[in-house]
Structure 1
Amino acid sequence: MCPPAPAIVADGLTKRYGDAVAIADLDLTVDPGNVFGFLGPNGAGKTSTIRILTTLTEPTAGTARVAGHPVSDRASVVEHIGVLPETPALYDELTGREQLEYVAGLRGHDDWDRVESLLERFDLADDANRRVATYSKGMKQKLGLVQALLHEPSVLFLDEPTSGLDPRAARTVCDTISEVAAAETTVFLSTHILPVVEELADTVGVLYDGDLVAEGAPSELTDDVEAGSTLEDVFLDVTSEQATQR
């Protein structure tokens, strides 16, 4: 029996902005149903990578496939992914429920019971008829996550999903990530909250100046530093070493 095809694969992925190199010949594979923790300091190229994988920008060189489709085939990729960017794409003049109805309509989604269930789960049901303009940062973050989840994507891209959330809401997000991954959704998770990655990720990749400089299971990476190390120790060790070498 053949193993399932990777949910995400990048081959020689490169992105340049003029003379600046954001991503340098990136090779990456993420298996179906895995949570991939994508780490790196500010300016490492994480956002550029996510923008390419979600078809928002084109690579300068190299190729990538998501959910079995080349990123050049935008319509096919978008059908299978959910995306929560660091700043969710929301319309301030709509209510929360209208926002979800609008996005659901674009996707041909009509499972309103699921929409209401997600609103309840993220404690937004009582505020769903308020305009998005009146929402706090945390409420907008939760609405953006519901928007990314409502069509049950096979690949979910999350950029700082717990940003602006109180501890209870952040725990709901972490629990939701665990649940969708258990249901074979692949999660590409970019965050600076390293305990979240350590808890959830099957595999971690560390990007530095556009290069993937470390990759492996969290336990493997921490063991490579010393017994009792955390993912934060790994991150600091790897990035400090790279800064010294460059």
Structure 2
Amino acid sequence: AYIAAPEKTAQAISTMSPSLITFKLEGDHLNRLNIPVIRRCLEKATAVVVGPGLGLHKETEEALKEVLRIVEEKGIPVLLDADGLKAFANFKRRLRVPLVLTPHAGEYKILTGDTLPGKLKDRIEMVRRAAQELNAVILLKSNVDVISDGVRVKLNFTGNPGMTVGGTGDVLSGIVGAFLAQGADPFNAAVAGAFINGAAGDFVKAEKGYHMLPTDLLEWIPRVIDDPMSHVKVRRSVPRGL
């Protein structure tokens, strides 16, 4: 995986794994001066994830606009999460490439201006309409995840309250982004990612309880992919929460 990040952050990331190749960006946050480096990074990309740790600087928002133009130019599918979603909300438009958005309830309101209703059936319709309007796949993260591309809708019931810890959404973005990079249909990538991320969290809950870290999910991801049905047994002992 290639990761573009400010120089000090990139140095820390490089120590985590030899599989993570970093592109060092000048400055403390993404800005338009970084675009030439980002463009070189995108030459190697088959999917792009933008958002985790991005920050909410105005300069970053302007740079994101340019990044999305490059992504469209190259025909690369993109996933926006966290701060990437919040920045996109200020200039949202229909992209000419596959787009996956992964908001929680608060980010969904920032993105669409809508407060999610309490009833699941009403949430489903609201998410479906928003996905249709944005020509995107929306993966709404909640106690029951709602995934829609504007036509199809899937619900995901894996996961547990321990996964409200910061960082589990970043893991989800990485899983979905990995499927996109392999050429998966964006809707199917989001559905599979939601299931795998939640199932991994359920295995961690069964092993350690609710006091989990997002990195605890990592060792379980390949196990869930290898044997998805293994989750059935552990799921019986893990409450979904509110």
TM-score normalised over the length of structure 1: 0.29
Name the structure, 1 or 2, with higher relative contact order (CA <8 Å, separation 6+).
1
Q: Which has the higher helix share?
A: 2
